[in-house]
Amino acid sequence: MSTGLFTKEAISDLLPELRGRVTYNAPLKNRSWFRVGGNAEILINPADTEDLAYILKTMPLEWPYFTIGATSNLLIRDGGLQGISFQLRKGFHEIIPDREGLVAGAACLDMTIAEYAAQLGLTGMEFLSGIPGSIGGAVKMNAGAHGSDIATIMDWAEILTRNGDLFRLSSSDLKLSYRHSVLPPDGIVTRVRLRGKPCNKDTIHKTMDEIKAQRENSQPIHSRTGGSTFRNPSPNISSYKAWELIDMVKGRGLIMGGAKVSEKHCNFLINTGEATAGDLENLGEELRKRVFNDFGIELEWEIKRIGIPYAQRENKYVG
């Protein structure tokens, strides 16, 4: 899979001051919630924001790169990722109380932030306890659940641009809307400021317990799965939610290779144990085809699919 550009010598020569961890031909399968996917040609865990800015400023503009978070909303294709892949970990986990709110690093899990806010006695962030993944990804897709979303609670997000400059942007700057934001091209969220309101801690924990129970009862959270597969159609297109459309085209329980549509919630795809990323993506496309053929509605992927497909029969990568 190597492009020939990203050798140890090339990285060391170009980025002598890099302080983070570099892994070559890094397996991503075990990092993925779906437990599928190929390797990353180069995986870099930057030490902190300054380290990431240094890398972005220094590496050639033509070098491709991806940023992967907790991978709860990613389907990494079987051919893996070419170029540089960033995964923010240590150095992006800090949470700092900030008046009636908090500032959280992009790698902080949504659940962790909800629990931290509860300990501070701040309400408004309980919905994060029902969203898998990290807050950086949540900002990028304006994640939401249980009647709230990131746009409702976010004051600003700090974002590194492709040339390594750091900007602080508001919800309106990012044009947050349903499962959508407008980040600067190739921008990477590094931290975010969220606001809450003082509230009794017991009340907050009760709400979070209710969210947990509802999620347990309605989603296949103990399976190898990700977040919701498809966005709900906008109300002016359909009054049906994505799962209802899938159910009506007999998608519930549908199997393709090692991939299966959850019978518990049919807007979730499951790796039954031996699925490839290709199985999961092809199953999703089959659902999209059925819904379009029956209803004329194009379901939009909410899960982001990245990387190179792998044509196993021909034993080669295809783009």
Q: What is the pLDDT of residue 310?
A: 74
Q: Is 119 left (phi over 0), alpha (psi -120 to 50) or beta?
A: alpha
DSSP sequence for 3-32: -SS--HHHHHHH-TT--SEEEEEEE-GGGS
Q: In what order do the strands lie in the sheet with 65-68?
A: 21-27, 39-45, 81-87, 65-68
Quick: pLDDT tens for 22-31.
Answer: 999 999 999 9
CA distance 124 to 168: 22
Is residue 74's pLDDT more than 90? yes
Contact 194, 112 (CB under 8 A): no
Confidence of residue 11 (pLDDT cuts 50, 70, 90): confident
Which pLDDT score, from 0 to 100, does residue 180 have? 87
Q: What is the C-alpha to C-alpha distance for residues 95 and 117, in angstroms, rounded to an integer? A: 10
pLDDT at residue 162 is higher than 80: yes
Q: Which residue among 228, 231, 288, 290 is the active-site one?
A: 228
In this predicted structure, what is the pLDDT of residue 4?
Answer: 56
Active site residue 179: yes
**Pairing of β 148-149 and β 122-123:** unpaired
Q: Which of 240, 255, 221, 220 is nearest to 299 (CA)?
A: 240
Token representation of residue 213: 């129970």
The amino acid at residue 234 is S
CA distance 81 to 248: 35
Q: At 253, is the pLDDT very low, low, confident or very high (cuts 50, 70, 90)? A: very high
Query: Catalytic: 302?
Result: yes
**In the annotation, is 72 catalytic?**
no
C-alpha span between 192 and 98 (Å, rounded): 11
Q: What is the mean pLDDT of residues 302-311?
A: 88
Q: Which of 179, 195, 215, 305 is catalytic?
A: 179
Which run of H or of E encompasses 274?
A: none
- Averaged pLDDT for residues 290-308: 96
Max CA pair span of the chain:
61
Contact 130, 215 (CB under 8 A): yes
- Please write the tens of the pLDDT for every residue from 258-281: 999 999 999 999 999 999 999 999
In Å, what is the CA distance from 89 to each residue of 33, 106, 113, 284?
Answer: 16, 9, 15, 30
pLDDT at 178: 87
Beta pairing class for 81-87 and 65-68? parallel
